[in-house]
Structure 1
Amino acid sequence: MSTMMIAGGGIGGLAAALAVVRAGYRAVVLERQPEFGELGAGIQLGPNAFRALEQLGVTHSVAERAVFVDRLRLMDALTGHLIAGLEVGTTFRKRYGHPYAVAHRGHLHRALLEACRSSDAVDLCSDNGVERYDQDDDGVTVTLTDGRRLRGVGLIGADGLHSAVRGQLVGDGPPRVSGHTTYRAVIPAARMPEDLRGHAVTLWAAPGCHVVHYPIAGSTLVNLVLTRDTGADQPVAGRPVEPAEMAANFGHLHPSPRRLITLAQDWKAWVLCDRDPSDRWQDGRVVLLGDAAHPMLQYAAQGACQALEDAVCLGDALAEQAPIPAFAHYTARRSAHTRRVQQTSRYLGREIYHPSGPAADKRDAMLAAWTEHDLLDRLDWLYASPPAARPGLPDPWSGTRQTLDAARHNGRPPSGSTR
């Protein structure tokens, strides 16, 4: 059995291991950290993620601890009123064949990790980061952080935003710092105000900032995520945050979202980073996957979902072809789609989550004019079927851009706006 090496033991790397094993390879997962684990708390899983999890054989173990939400809500964080909502119950599931859920990132990672551990064809090696690779006609040799060398028929770089494999393959330097700082915390669900409870993902939008909350861990916890355009120009990961910083950044919001800040005692901050889309994912027997290939901002809630889709697509290609043509086939199928998701994520943050003044008024009017069918039509490209099977679909947000542009000239005046 040929060996496929995988750099990175996060969600994407473990999913890739399961996928290549299903394609008939042995997988060696090389994780830089001393232990396999996943940072962060909440994660949103759209129907496309569940489609991939089903193909990887881990749907049941993920679903056990997930919360299947009924509704997605966009609220005005300054006035407290509902801007738009989307039911994600029976009609949504019937349309896409799978549900929308939220979960703890650790639970998703653990489900994939346990599936890998139960497979005789997966070797999990922690404290073994990939520093570089060399290849010839017959295979790839990786050099690990401790100087040891391993060899296989191919290498999948799933080592995240700061990927060493990408650094050698693409050579595009450090990630792009977005200037947006995200503050994360988790609280017991029992502490949540009664009027803010429920099986919903709620997003409170305001100029330059937003608040998201939803239940996780079988509805025993609530995930809180607050983001603000702070102008940060350096990456930060997991910095402890004092209450005064939270109050300074979000004290101007409506009392409903503002009171959430006082419920958590252990806030930590991350500065959001991504990269410009690249079509260069392959170097012979080496290929990128997940954040190493297409790191994206959080605004489309698709980072992990796209990594899961990558893994399934790559496994399908390897089941039919040798590594080099399989990697080329996978890159051709996935790179255009993930480029679109990356660009949509940036757009959502700018035009839907964080606009101010007249632009926010026009957003509200536009979303109010859309029916639920209109909203779903704009999500089909992302959720309906494997993306590569749906070529030529229009940009789902092209109508949004056109509406906003037209509204700037013809929309209702912004007088009296609270933004």
Structure 2
Amino acid sequence: MDILIAGGGIGGLATAIGVARSGHRATVLERHEAFAEFGAGIQLAPNAFRALDHLGVGDAVRDRAVHIDELRFMDGTTGERVASMRLTGGYRERFGNPYVVVHRNDLYEPLLAACRAAPGIVLRADSPVASYEQDDAGVWVVLGTGERVAGAALIGADGIRSAVRRQLVGDGEPHVSGHTIYRSVIPMERVPGQLRWNTVTLWAGPLWHFVHYPIGHGSYLNLAAVRDDGAREVVTGDPAERAHVLGEFPGLGATARQLLELGEDWRRWVLCDRDPVDRWTDGRVALLGDAAHPMLQYAAQGACMALEDAVFLGELLREGGEDEVPRTLETYAEGRRDRTARAQLVSRDMGTLLYHAAGAEAVRRNAMLAALSQEDLYAKVAWLHGAGGDGR
């Protein structure tokens, strides 16, 4: 079958590989003039590697990744270490894979290379999907140029502002969270030696938090600082003055402040997501990744969920023919809806109840987290990081 994929991001490329490995042809329609990934650091839990291994690119991503030793949760005002989850030893034994951090390109480029090497995958840049049409025999994508491209199925992997979702679900603009994130990447050589931790460290404060971790084989430090400022207008990557960023985090403790002050060339985004929806399919059309279940970054699972989607869908397409495409897509949606909806809602809760608590709520949060053993912490994340993430 010819499977059309709207969007050439992480989810779209992973879907193309899954389709090709299932014996079908994939055409990826990317709206930008080139296939490229934008952004900085990204965290990948073991469930992502379960999917990446299935797609044949797991080792390539491992080779580019920083294998993290620990997730640390710090009180951002007092500097107290509240809790930490070790990611070596028992963690890897339990979940079967590492927890890593990478620059987004270090995930994207192995996927892109695999697509370019696959004879059944066609990559078309400068091909923005505007809408779709279908009948019982097939589906047609209408590009922004007016060109029509035919296939047996269309997978909308075109992001949080998906044109496919706009037609299929029609739920308007994304939900604006009211949280602004400031991002910077700095050379590790500028970081004092005693602060070059092989950890993902989160400093939680009242209505703000600050995260940092190494990327680029440890050559850079990724900084991400979030302020619950009630923002209501969408911002995507605008420059932010250093003085403004430093002033947005009052009460930040001395060590965290030292790291924040290293940041340069800051850019800001206002974070958005959507509510979970039941409808992911329309006949021969289905949504995937951020087009289906965009989530805030607080559970670090957005890319992981898209990779799981791609693997699950690819395996289902292996089993059915053209006449069965609508039912196959519905089976895919049924298998993925509950898990991804839970991840969406947990991500929202983490950003408010866990990371941004203040006063007595922060004291209670710290006491709750400090009381958890390593096994308790592993149990908390087992539903996400463990096996079973393919939806079956």
- Shorter-chain TM-score tier: over 0.9
Cα distance in 2, alignment partners of residues 194 and 98 from structure 1: 28
Match of 1:344 in 2: 346
The 5 Å alignment of 1:327-406 reads 327-387=329-389
SS in 1 for 2:161: coil
Asked if the contact 2:3/2:151 (under 8 Å) is kept, the reply is: yes
Alignment deviations for residues 213-232 of structure 1 (CA, whole Å, 9 cap, x no partner): 00111111111100001111
Q: Which ranges in structure 1 are unaligned for 5 or more consecutive residues?
A: 391-419
Deviation at 1:262, TM superposition (A): 2.2
Q: 1:388 to 1:124 in 2, by over 3 A?
A: closer
Cα distance in 1, alignment partners of residues 202 and 111 from structure 2: 28
Cα distance in 1, alignment partners of residues 338 and 326 from structure 2: 19
Deviation at 1:370, TM superposition (A): 1.1
Asked if 1:233 corresponds to 2:232, the answer is: yes
Asked if the contact 2:308/2:389 (under 8 Å) is kept, the reply is: no
Moved more, 161-170 or 253-262: 253-262
Asked if the contact 2:103/2:215 (under 8 Å) is kept, the reply is: yes
Asked if the contact 1:12/1:158 (under 8 Å) is kept, the reply is: yes
Asked if the contact 1:12/1:289 (under 8 Å) is kept, the reply is: yes
- What amino acid sits opposite 1:271 in the alignment? V
Alignment deviations for residues 250-271 of structure 1 (CA, whole Å, 9 cap, x no partner): 2431111112222122100000
SS in 2 for 1:387: coil
SS in 1 for 2:136: coil
Deviation at 1:198, TM superposition (A): 2.1
Q: Percent identity?
A: 53
Match of 1:398 in 2: none
Match of 2:72 in 1: 73
Match of 1:395 in 2: none
Q: Which ranges in structure 2 are unaligned for 5 or more consecutive residues?
A: none
The 5 Å alignment of 1:3-402 reads 3-321=2-320, 322-387=324-389
Cα distance in 2, alignment partners of residues 72 and 159 from structure 1: 31
SS in 2 for 1:117: helix
Deviation at 1:65, TM superposition (A): 1.1
Cα distance in 1, alignment partners of residues 101 and 390 from structure 2: 25
Deviation at 1:388, TM superposition (A): 6.0
SS in 1 for 2:248: helix
SS in 2 for 1:250: coil
Alignment deviations for residues 67-118 of structure 1 (CA, whole Å, 9 cap, x no partner): 0001000001101110100000021111011110000001111110010001
Cα distance in 2, alignment partners of residues 99 and 181 from structure 1: 30
Cα distance in 2, alignment partners of residues 160 and 363 from structure 1: 34
SS in 1 for 2:182: strand
Asked if the contact 2:178/2:231 (under 8 Å) is kept, the reply is: yes
Asked if the contact 1:251/1:258 (under 8 Å) is kept, the reply is: no
Cα distance in 2, alignment partners of residues 280 and 190 from structure 1: 49
Alignment deviations for residues 241-292 of structure 1 (CA, whole Å, 9 cap, x no partner): 1112112202431111112222122100000000000111000000000000
Asked if the contact 2:5/2:26 (under 8 Å) is kept, the reply is: yes
Asked if the contact 2:309/2:390 (under 8 Å) is kept, the reply is: no
Deviation at 1:130, TM superposition (A): 0.5
Cα distance in 2, alignment partners of residues 289 and 196 from structure 1: 39
- What amino acid sits opposite 2:338 in the alignment? A
SS in 2 for 1:273: strand
Asked if the contact 1:153/1:323 (under 8 Å) is kept, the reply is: yes
Cα distance in 2, alignment partners of residues 165 and 196 from structure 1: 45
Deviation at 1:197, TM superposition (A): 1.1
Q: 1:121 to 1:389 in 2, by over 3 A?
A: closer
Deviation at 1:188, TM superposition (A): 0.6
Q: 1:215 to 1:22 in 2, by over 3 A?
A: same
Q: 1:231 to 1:389 in 2, by over 3 A?
A: closer
Cα distance in 2, alignment partners of residues 247 and 62 from structure 1: 34
Cα distance in 1, alignment partners of residues 106 and 155 from structure 2: 24
Cα distance in 2, alignment partners of residues 103 and 221 from structure 1: 10
Cα distance in 2, alignment partners of residues 183 and 106 from structure 1: 19
Cα distance in 1, alignment partners of residues 96 and 159 from structure 2: 30
Alignment deviations for residues 309-367 of structure 1 (CA, whole Å, 9 cap, x no partner): 00001101111123212111110110000000001001111111110011111011111
Asked if the contact 2:11/2:310 (under 8 Å) is kept, the reply is: yes
Asked if the contact 2:45/2:385 (under 8 Å) is kept, the reply is: yes
Match of 1:411 in 2: none
- What amino acid sits opposite 2:197 in the alignment? G
Cα distance in 1, alignment partners of residues 259 and 371 from structure 2: 30
- Aligned pair count? 389
Deviation at 1:194, TM superposition (A): 2.2
- What amino acid sits opposite 1:368 in the alignment? A
Deviation at 1:383, TM superposition (A): 1.4
**What is the TM-score with the length of structure 2 in the denominator?**
0.98
- What amino acid sits opposite 2:369 in the alignment? L
Match of 1:410 in 2: none
Please provide the CA RMSD for this pair: 1.0
Asked if the contact 2:274/2:294 (under 8 Å) is kept, the reply is: yes
Deviation at 1:196, TM superposition (A): 2.0
- What amino acid sits opposite 2:281 in the alignment? Q
